[in-house]
Amino acid sequence: MIRFLTRRRGNWTDWLSWGWMIFGTLAMFVPVLWLVLSSFKTQSALQEFPPSLWPTGQKQIVVTGYDKPLPVFTVPLPDGGTAERAMVRRIGIELQVIDPAVPDAPLRRVKLAEAVPVRELHFAIENYLEPLEKFSFGRYLSNSLIVTITATAITLLINAMCAFALSKYEFRGRNGIFIFIVSTLMIPITVILVPAFLVVTQLNLGNSLWGVILPPAATPTGVFLLRQYMLTIPDELMDAARMDHASEWRLFWRIVLPLAAPALAVLTIFSIVWRWNDFLWPLIVLNREDVFTLQLGLASFQGELQTQWHYLLAMTVVTLVPVSVVFAFLQKYITTGIASSGMK
């Protein structure tokens, strides 16, 4: 104990630990930050090599007498100095510029090679706004929201009902059902892609959001998690309510469900993240563009529009925002939830 207390502060393992943590923080966040910064650059700024760190664009200025804002250049003056001038038009290799302070003065001619564009911090908000009009981006967004919200609601309800029966009743087949559900915990969608697709098309759910929502709704993880939690809720509460002639459904809905709120919260977070991020299953079920979710929209967009990175980056940022918000507010819940249940 004395050795432990008198241990020299700041030994090499401490430095190494800090080094690794800082490296890790940079490695995890910098790629995402770079995406966010890049998403605010204009299309032309994105094509620069080497790229600039901050989103910059050419400064523009409104000059009286001209309808549109004019781009600003630094141009040499006859006296040898330089000044900022607004470009009115370009003729061949020459620019016609004007002093923004003196809009009535005659235009001056400057060689293109001598004029340097003035750059300033410029956030290209249009990257975020234009995809809403030009592409079905709003559609993808609403499809993703519908899928995430509906699927999470259904998952919570049917998983909780199942967990309730498995934890609060003695009935024939109970253990069999439980073991059966848990044993399929590890069956990945990959193994049943072809026949699952058949079932979905036979039920007329192909190219429908229900085809994405329903199949993964009966999650074994959810049933397992909720059952374990409901087992800790004392049965006496239910017995007391039975005395008052409450129906079994009321016991579930009014007593057990509210008490299972912490476990339901964990499952809600997981379900939202699963559904928002889901890719392979929607990829198979949804082939028509009007039913695409955000993830499918993004993936197909990057295939078609290799050059339109400015839209693609902005849409990627929009896609990662909800998950990042969930993360920022609930990270403690999530990390402890995973550590204790070992699930994702």
> Within 169-208, which residues bind another protein (CB under 8 A)?
169, 171, 174, 177, 181, 184, 186-188, 190-201, 203
CA 67/CA 63 separation, integer angstroms = 8
Does 280 help bind another protein (rule: CB under 8 A)? yes
Site for another protein in 291-330 (CB under 8 A): 295, 298-299, 302, 309, 312-313, 316, 319-320, 323-324, 326-327
User: Would you give the binding string for another protein spanning residues 115-134, x where CB under 8 A is met?
Assistant: --------------------
CA 235 to chain centre: 41
Does 27 help bind another protein (rule: CB under 8 A)? yes
Distance in angstroms between the alpha carbons of the first and the last residue of the chain: 40
Report, in Å, the least distance between residue 294 CB and another protein. 8
User: 68's torsion region: left (phi>0), alpha (psi -120 to 50) or beta?
Assistant: beta
Our CB check for another protein shows the closer of 110 and 313 to be 313
Our CB check for another protein shows the closer of 64 and 202 to be 202
Q: Among residues 35, 149, 241, 255, which is the contact residue for another protein, using CB under 8 A? A: 35
Q: Among residues 151, 217, 286, 291, which is the contact residue for another protein, using CB under 8 A? A: 217
Does 24 help bind another protein (rule: CB under 8 A)? yes
Q: Among residues 87, 156, 162, 230, which is the contact residue for another protein, using CB under 8 A? A: 162
Other Cβ atoms closer than 10 A to 124: 21
* Of residues 134, 278, 270, 131, the one with CA closest to residue 209: 278
Does 34 help bind another protein (rule: CB under 8 A)? yes
Is residue 275 within 8 Å of 151, Cβ to Cβ? yes
Does 243 help bind another protein (rule: CB under 8 A)? no
* Of residues 255, 258, 230, 257, the one with CA closest to residue 243: 255
Residue 59, classed as helix, strand or coil, is coil
Q: Among residues 32, 101, 121, 240, which is the contact residue for another protein, using CB under 8 A? A: 32
Q: Among residues 1, 102, 105, 113, which is the contact residue for another protein, using CB under 8 A? A: 1
Does 253 help bind another protein (rule: CB under 8 A)? yes
Task: Tell whether the torsion through CA atoms of 286, 288, 291 and 297 is positive or negative.
Answer: positive
Other Cβ atoms closer than 10 A to 219: 20
Report, in Å, the least distance between residue 129 CB and another protein. 20
Is residue 136 within 8 Å of 293, Cβ to Cβ? no
Other Cβ atoms closer than 10 A to 139: 17
